[in-house]
């Protein structure tokens, strides 16, 4: 029985990580497109870069589709795994009674809310990401309207908010401040994470069949703009993360004396590593790309960029994993309204307050 419980708990953590990372990509693509990619392409000749924009748009379509599917599958699996864990802890059968018990909690309610939101996003984004997200810069191209961007941002932000409303922020005091702070924290982190994934994995498709000067030109524009966005995101993450610590930790000593605190300490260490790499990109790689583009020097900072962005991606995935793990761990700060497990025997793996 203990082995079965441990397997379910590990699976639950992995599923939670997959859902959270996918939700982050869906939201983070919006600010990245609007603040980085589209402005970068506007500085270039629209017609000559049409194939590159098309390649990038196709890959973005695939990434968003995969994220939508992963979010839906992970959400359903999380509900089933939580139901299975509840049944194991109560030594009962996995049936409708256990499922109803899970769905009666904030965890169950907010997970269910994700499914219609994901459905609405699927209808809104299907083929549109590929067709128009990077278009409208040359004659004859459709340009996405502000309503489309607004709906994408609002629906994807709702996905992120479901984590806050079903997690520790919903039982903090004052609740409204904790919820707002947590949603802002998740939005900033998602913007940075999506940017790292897209720059590391998808951006190279842009300069297929292009010469070195063209590659450096688009890379310089993208890195320069993303560097500023990432800097703002990191500052917001640092501020909101510090506030989250006040909401969830009883004392600084909990950082090394509790499961929640140790996981948070690991997350902080990963974040500091990301800050260092971000500084390298912002103060060194960005400048090197700009100089190589302007004076045509033989130096190629792209090699360093690939190493730093790949390392940031690994650290980002670990950071997402620690964030997903934190959601399922008991915080140490006591408030008037304490988070309760999904059912009475859910322990620290309970999924939130009883509804």
Q: In angstroms, rounded to a whole number, what is the distance separating the alpha carbons of residues 323 and 327? A: 7
Provide CB contacts within 8 A for 8, sequence distance 6+. 81, 84, 85, 88
pLDDT tens track for 305-325: 778 888 888 888 888 778 767
pLDDT band at 337 (very low <50, low <70, confident <90, very high): very low
Q: How confident is the model at residue 120 (pLDDT cuts 50, 70, 90)?
A: very high
Q: Are 355 and 109 in contact (CB under 8 A)?
A: yes
**Phi-psi category of residue 69: left, alpha or beta, with phi > 0 → left and psi -120 to 50 → alpha:** alpha
Q: Residue 105's beta-bridge partner residues?
A: 354
Q: Which residue has the higher pLDDT, 95 or 45?
A: 45
pLDDT confidence band for 344 (50 / 70 / 90): very low
Closest of 13, 111, 25 to residue 66, by C-alpha: 25
CB atoms within 10 A of CB 141: 14
State the pLDDT at residue 294.
Answer: 67
Between 39-53, 240-254, 281-295, the lowest mean confidence (pLDDT) is in: 281-295
CA distances from 323 to 36, 219, 269, 276, 328 (A): 26, 30, 13, 20, 9
Question: Mean pLDDT throughout 82-93?
Answer: 70
Give the tokens for residue 37.
């990619």
Rounded to whole angstroms, the Cα distance separating 292 from 298 reads 7
Per-residue pLDDT tens digits for 133-184: 998 888 778 888 899 999 999 999 999 999 888 877 777 778 888 899 999 9
Q: CB–CB of 215/302 below 8 Å?
A: yes
Given a cut of 60, whether residue 216 has pLDDT beyond it is: yes
pLDDT in tens, 239-265: 998 888 777 777 777 777 778 788 888
Q: What is the band of 208 on the pLDDT scale with cuts at 50, 70, 90?
A: confident
């Amino acid at each position: 029985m203990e082995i079965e419980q441990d397997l379910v708990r590990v699976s639950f953590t992995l599923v939670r990580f997959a859902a959270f990372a996918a939700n982050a990509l869906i939201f983070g693509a919006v600010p990245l497109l609007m603040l980085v990619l589209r402005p970068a392409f506007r500085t270039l000749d629209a017609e000559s870069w049409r194939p590159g924009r098309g390649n990038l748009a196709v890959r973005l379509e695939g990434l968003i589709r995969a994220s939508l599917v992963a979010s839906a599958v992970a959400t359903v699996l999380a509900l089933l795994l939580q139901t299975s864990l509840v049944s194991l802890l109560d030594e009962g059968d996995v049936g409708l009674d256990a499922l109803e018990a899970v769905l009666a909690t904030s965890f169950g309610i907010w997970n269910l809310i994700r499914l219609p939101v994901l459905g609405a996003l699927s209808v809104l984004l299907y083929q549109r990401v590929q067709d128009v997200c990077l278009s409208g810069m040359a004659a004859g191209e459709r340009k996405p309207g502000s309503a489309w961007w607004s709906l994408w941002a609002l629906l994807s932000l709702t996905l992120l908010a479901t984590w806050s409303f079903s997690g520790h922020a919903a039982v903090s005091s004052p609740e409204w401040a904790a919820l707002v702070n947590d949603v802002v924290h998740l939005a900033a982190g998602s913007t940075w994470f999506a940017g790292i994934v897209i720059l590391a994995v998808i951006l190279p498709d842009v300069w297929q069949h292009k010469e070195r000067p063209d590659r450096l030109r688009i890379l310089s524009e993208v890195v320069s703009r993303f560097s500023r966005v990432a800097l703002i995101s990191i500052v917001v993450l640092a501020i909101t993360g510090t506030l989250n610590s006040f909401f969830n930790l009883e004392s600084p000593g909990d950082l090394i004396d509790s499961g929640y605190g140790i996981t948070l300490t690991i997350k902080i260490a990963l974040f500091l590593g990301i800050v260092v790499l971000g500084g390298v990109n912002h103060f060194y790689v960005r400048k090197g790309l700009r100089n190589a583009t302007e004076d045509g020097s033989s130096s190629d900072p792209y090699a360093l960029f690939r190493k730093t962005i790949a390392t940031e991606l690994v650290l980002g995935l670990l950071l997402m994993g620690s964030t997903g793990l934190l959601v399922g761990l008991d915080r140490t700060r006591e408030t008037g309204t304490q988070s309760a497990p999904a059912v009475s025997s859910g322990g620290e793996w309970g999924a939130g307050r009883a509804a």
